Structure 1
């Protein structure tokens, strides 16, 4: 989905590629540089090429140097609105634009994002689609604006407003950043408003406003094009000249943005009673410096040190000593013209935020007294090399990095300086920036508290000025986006309406999979991949929540969490430091069907990292204090879920699908009541009985051979003793024989969360993949799907909607899910119902052709990253598939007929045999749902009193 992208990462996390012959050492990060070619066209377009032939794919990224900072007060949200509009149509691509073409050529799904400072458009395609993509990107830049009409603009306004409702208005703490921006920056500062803009400004935007904005900013001399992947640079250069050369340079001079920090003349403290919050949250924000400023690197280290891990001063005070929260978060958000350093603490239920603030001050005092040691500084820096190589795993990641560096510094290879600046940070620098930007400096504080709990806010806080949208049925304007634009076509020296041909078809290269096993029963699945010197591994133990009893729900989750908290010989702090000193990460987590230990490490540190993973797995500490903290954190999460519409919808839908007697219907965190009853002895018993190699496997992908992997597991084979584990089977109910509408009331919800579906298939069922193929045009194909085309593109009811099958080894559900604006809840359900009814009889030859084209061509991208390869191994090991199962799937796709699609649709997506769940505002929407024609809606919770703003 087109979305706003906020990134709060260390600078080195954006590193894109390496071309260095310098040998690696155990204690020194090698010299890193970027291998690229750059040209500049006469019209000012800067083009960067990067060659990576490891996979037959190409990433194409167009970055335009315009974000919300280029807007003016009263016309906010334009940059982001443009991100949406540019996908819809252009003169030669026609309706559906890049989205439609992406589906045909096997692309990753054309996407984009908007920040304060830039807008980018990106996707990965098989290499035979490169010329098509260059043609399409040029058409968007030079042959687009005539296709925007008043109806198209009206519809896309509704889509963007739905995005705002989904990501901000209908989410706990969603308005927090809005309050910060309004108070951290002066009214005329371009960071005073949010990237998404205001509903009022969006509604007031005129077609003339839109055209003026485009003509000023969407010009070649304000853009960077990056082509990264399996390319011939000479041929790609010729195509770039052919398609981009005749786009005229912008007539207006593009001024550089002047650095301008936020300004807080005195401490500002504001509060807000959040309709969706269940626990209080304190945020403190200090003005800081822009990205790439010398001080920004030390601020990155400072914020990580203060809040990351057991040794972090703020965690020691607020988590361990005062027990006010389960964790703290601090980051340095550096943008092009200003930066801000944010500290966020979400407290436990009922905690006064004055106590939290006092704890923060105590933590700062601790830091002032102790400072940061060389060891801690080096530990933080140690992750840079791993993050660097991780960024190499996809050509898309490289493309974004190259485009970003070029846009902001003019040098795609700035990564070398960026990393050097990070490595050069000293302990004195860290203390210096603390004193300069944090200590005794003015800040903005926000207290977001539950409704009717203003007493929990900071003392003296004043009410924040937030305008919330009212729910009014029928309030939105009407439009018909199908009305075609009439215009005189923009001239060109050749016929641009002819889509370029495909290049040479890439061959499908399936990674070679090896399998083995240990004497204790542990199964081994691996893929050797030496593109980057990293190793990723997962140790997955079957069982998870399925092994819990109903009166102790949440035991598996707490057991997994506690395995992260130290070992017999290492405290939590010592374990964290041992992992970080290797530049590695190890994390244990649980879900419905298993517990997984996941690790990532430099290949040179694989054995040391595996040794730590084994210690965590076989020698848990079972620390009582950490257990108590985890229980409190879990209960806080569960309480917050009670008011989060998306969490409520997910949990309620699972109960309706599986039934209350099936453990798959339960939240993997458990319930407040069950977690309160769990003791540490329950975890010890669960661990003793169920953490066994007899039901486990290890998946390994990376720069290591099978022989070395098997040899590395000798100790695990010897010390991990097998025991018999029987995993209960819970039968999934059959699909209902008639439809029922269920409604869960969340007063004043700005959106209704829809979950429609029924029990369907297991992943091992012979129909499972074929049914997924059937679903591509229905709701699995993004912008190629009917659900998206009708509800988003046709009506503007939603920001996004999808459908899919969720089966594993057990039968799962077919589900349609979306968030729609509250006042079209019924209309959205009616439209979904009609689409489902029509689908089996209207699926066309063209639909089948699009489905086959995408699913076959997209296989070129199927195994590009190590994460994708791990997913491949998971499929093979979970479902007993052949290593080349993707070829069997290709046969299924190639042999699919319209008649099979009809049969599968009638069998698995019948609207008259479904559960129709709505989570939203009952006062305005409950009674309307009768008109769906499925009887009286069933209200699942007590009708709540409407909360007025």
Structure 2
């Protein structure tokens, strides 16, 4: 009856407009009591587009998701990476939306947006103030129905370059970046939809042409292969009306059927390997299992958690705690067509991988003998239930889950069934799947070995994928034609925004204990959880007066995550997991922070464990020895990572080697080696004090309820703690290029910047400088990113920012760029900075900045974490309650002249550090011809040569030096 009523009302609404709707109301789901469910209404348009609407009026926000049932599994041999490539092309404009306007319009409206591609689907999504709903529909429908005539060869080439840069940054130039690709091509038969990664192969990207891309769109991007999911401060009638208007006229595409493939079968253990520039070798053992939503998925997930999911797991005990490896885990990711049960081990360099494999098999035998315990099942169920609940904290989280369920699960209302699968799990289920999928079964056993050390592989390679007998299926590309929608309205007219939603800063409370602990909190009852963030000021900076102990803050925090005086590490983690809670302690430059997550119903028990961890750490000698060894090994490992090398060298150049800010929070090999257990105990006793601590509380709990529960914190004795005052950074006399060699690097890492004279403030120079930087390098459609990524295709992404705290801020422009365009990228960075400093902002850019920043408050306070971060800023910097209103006034009144004056003052392009990490043989000639003094450094930031100064003047803005391709 409810379904009929809903449809009847909708029909009447459409008749009143003179249009007979062919939209069908399919389903309405409501919540009964406190059951875990996402309420929604589902409709299907006449062209096959499924529309799902979730109403949530708690915040003036709307999230729009369009999911197409097409990912890399729909691709052909020789044309890998097409689905992901097409995701990029969908942001390059359509008939009524100009190039790069998609990002511009959404960002201008105060929203955020992106797209993603995986094996089985591609989705595009926006989170916006709710008055921008129609704009999102106009944008998404235009690229669904009017894309192909806007696709040009130039756009195609630029985005092909961008995808190559993405592959270089996230795969080729990243340690262990090719493990997934190597596993996939050896786990699945030749031609299997999962035998290549979503990113694809470079040779395939080079091979395809723009007509291939157009055919891909025509085959898979019809409305009948898509789900439009909308959630937030909307109504179902409003969404359906707009869906009919903008998506309804789009013609139905070719029929799409579910892909079916036989499961992967391995006739033997397949040993494969490859060389990488790494310190720790890797052993990765992968067994084929079941696809998502299979009855055995949940038991296999539980098995992975028991064997290698955390500190209580057997892998952790046998590999990490026994100091044989720096990392060990088990996982069970599943997708539409298959699952993969994977063990991943990073042994210390002293351990051979055949020994690691033998110990893994011994661990499995130990599991068989031990069996599954009641605690194992209780921990898995509690943790998984908490994860499900926390996933509902935002509109985007709920919408994404509905879209995924509708695309892949038996029903969009699969959440209750997913919870039921977890709750009915038994010990027998876990042992059954172990015996069925793991015990005695064959796997792909991958070794990633450090350069020149192939002798440590687990076993000689014994398998190569073969194309013999493969026959390509018919993908249905013949006879496709492009039919544009026929409209009864003018799509070229951009929809007007609705009335601005009322956005209010969350009503927060403050308090202070006699020992000096400051507290701030807000009630958030959307989900039954509580988040606490305890920040103890000092952290890494406390080593400023004794650099020989740098890294002690991180070691202290790590030890506080271990055993306490009353519980072993395993016991305390068992208690937390059975509660579905987490307590994590970490160190940063300015603080030691403690993060607590708990279901409201388990808050008392969780706080008791927080008291134990905070006040009674055991600081056991065995734990200290193990953690110190891991830290030293990880420091050595950082020397293989281009991003880390670049950041370390850049900071050392900015601050000088005798400044704590030039040393990573992890410390150096020399400083960590000097730290003793007594040093850690003394650091803890001296520096962890409520007098320099702030506590943020957000969640389903009132102030008068939570304060009595925090009574144990009032017993925390205050101590005098002084955070050292740091001297100003040495001024940079002139711009130089500092080059660090990373042989055979596919990309170069670039950092350009300097140390300012301004600390963080919410309403002063720092805030205004952030406004000025927004169009230079702070937004996706900033000058820097549009130039280097969208116009030149040099990078996957480029940006700039002022980053500061109570210490002076650092201005940094940065990117990872393809090696062949390194010198050209440096020139373009400097050109944009120079031009902005000289000419300032345009009228259009200023209007965009004011609109974008002025409307984004609607998105700032939605989740508990967002609220906690906002409150942390207030209490950390003692901000007035109305600082947001003050910022709004500053934004409203700032002028072009103001921005230009800030840019001229804050962008001294002639006095900046330029740090480049890349393949010296390839990039040095071009950099040498730019006209700047070039100094070569080793990976620790020490000069390796006297440097050379070009006789030519610095390259002019916009010019290219070195003769490298501009692409």
Q: TM-score range by the shorter chain?
A: over 0.9
* Structure 1 match to 2:811: 814
| 1:544-943 equivalences in 2 (<5 Å) | 544-548=539-543, 549-718=546-715, 720-733=716-729, 735-760=731-756, 761-764=758-761, 766-782=764-780, 784-840=781-837, 841=839, 843-941=841-939
1:13 corresponds to: none
Deviation at 1:80? Answer: 0.2
Compute the displacement of 1:460 (Å). 2.4
Q: CA RMSD in A?
A: 1.8
Match of 1:270 in 2: 272
- Structure 1, residues 155-213: CA drift from partner, whole Å, max 9, x if none? 10000000000000001011111110110001110100110100011111111101110
The equivalent of 2:71 in structure 1 is: 67
SS at match of 2:297: helix
Task: Give, in whole Å, the separation in 1 of the partners of 2:881 and 2:206.
Answer: 53
Spell out, residue by residue over 1:311-331, the C-alpha distance to the aligned partner (whole angstroms, 9 max, x if none): 31222222234x211331111
Structure with the bigger RCO (C-alpha within 8 Å, sep 6+) is 1
The residue aligned with 2:82 is 78
TM-superposed deviation, 1:134: 0.8
| SS state at 1:911 partner | coil
Question: What is the CA-CA distance between 1:532 and the residue it aligns to?
Answer: 1.3
Q: Name the SS of the counterpart of 2:570 in structure 1.
A: helix
SS at 2:296's partner residue? Answer: helix
Q: Distance in 2 between matches of 1:158 and 1:452?
A: 31
Contact 2:31-2:39 within 8 A present in 1 as well: no
Contact 2:270–2:463 (CA under 8 A) maintained in structure 1: no
Look up the SS of the partner of 1:327 in the other structure: strand
TM-score calculated relative to the size of structure 2: 0.91
Equivalent position to 2:127, from 124, 131, 138: 124
1:542 matches 2:537: yes
Pairs within 5 Å for 1:144-183: 144-183=147-186
**8 Å contact kept, 1:732–1:812:** no
Q: CA separation of 1:645/1:674 partners in 2, compared to 1, >3 Å: closer, same or farther?
A: same
Q: Which residue of 2 aligns with 1:14?
A: none
Deviation at 1:148, TM superposition (A): 0.6
Question: CA–CA distance in 1 between the matches of 2:875 and 2:574?
Answer: 33
Query: How much has 1:378 moved relative to structure 2?
Result: 0.9
Q: Give the equivalent residue in structure 1 for 2:521.
A: 526
Q: How many residues align?
A: 895
Which position in structure 2 is the counterpart of 1:285? 286
Q: Tell me the residue number matched to 1:412.
A: 412
The partner residue of 2:105 within 95, 101, 107 is 101
Equivalent residue of 2:99, what SS? coil
In structure 1, the partner of 2:309 is 308
Say whether the 8 Å CA contact 2:251–2:484 is kept in structure 1. Answer: no
Partner of 1:238: 241
From 501, 506, 509, the equivalent of 1:511 is 506
SS in 2 for 1:535: strand
Write the distance in 2 (CA, Å) between the matches of 1:793 and 1:488.
Answer: 28
Structure 1, 365-374 or 307-316: larger mean CA deviation: 307-316
Deviating 4+ runs (over 6 angstroms): 463-466, 487-490
C-alpha distance in 2, partners of 1:128/1:410?
33
Return the alpha-carbon distance in structure 1 between the equivalents of residues 459 and 428 of structure 2.
Answer: 35
Alpha-carbon separation, structure 2, partners of 1:350 and 1:884: 58
Identify which range, 414-423 or 172-181, moves more after superposition: 414-423
- Cα drift, residue 399 of structure 1: 1.0
Q: Distance in 1 between matches of 2:617 and 2:484?
A: 69
Separation in structure 1 between the aligned mates of residue 196 and residue 299 of structure 2, nearest angstrom = 27
Matched residue SS, 2:391: helix
Mapped to 1, the partners of 2:264 and 2:675 lie a distance apart of: 48
Give distance in 2, aligned partners of 1:651 and 1:246. 55
Q: CA deviation at 1:99?
A: 0.8
Cα deviation for residue 146 of structure 1 reads: 1.2
Which runs of no fewer than 5 residues in structure 2 stay unpaired? 1-27, 467-481, 946-967
2:211 aligned residue: 208
With over 3 angstroms needed to count, the CA separation of the structure-2 counterparts of 1:464 and 1:173, relative to structure 1, is farther
Q: TM-score scaled to structure 1, two decimals?
A: 0.92
Instruction: Give secondary structure in 2 for the equivalent of 1:902.
Output: helix
Matched, 1:498 2:493: yes
SS state at 2:814 partner: strand
Match of 1:254 in 2: 256
**Structure 2 CA distance for aligned equivalents of residues 629 and 575 of structure 1:** 19
CA contact (8 A) 1:163 1:798 kept: yes
Q: What CA distance in whole angstroms lies between the structure 1 residues aligned with 2:384 and 2:175?
A: 33
Q: Distance in 2 between matches of 1:289 and 1:164?
A: 28
Seen in structure 2, the aligned counterparts of structure 1 residues 447 and 18 have a Cα distance that, compared at 3 Å, is farther
Deviation at 1:897, TM superposition (A): 0.5
Displacement after TM superposition at 1:734 (Å): 5.2
Distance in 1, Cα, partners of 2:745 & 2:507: 50
The answer to whether the 8 A contact 2:250-2:485 is kept is no
**Residue of structure 2 in register with 1:482 after alignment:** none
- Encode CA deviations 1:391-410: one digit per residue, 9 max, x unaligned: 12211111110100000125
Note the C-alpha offset of 1:715: 1.7
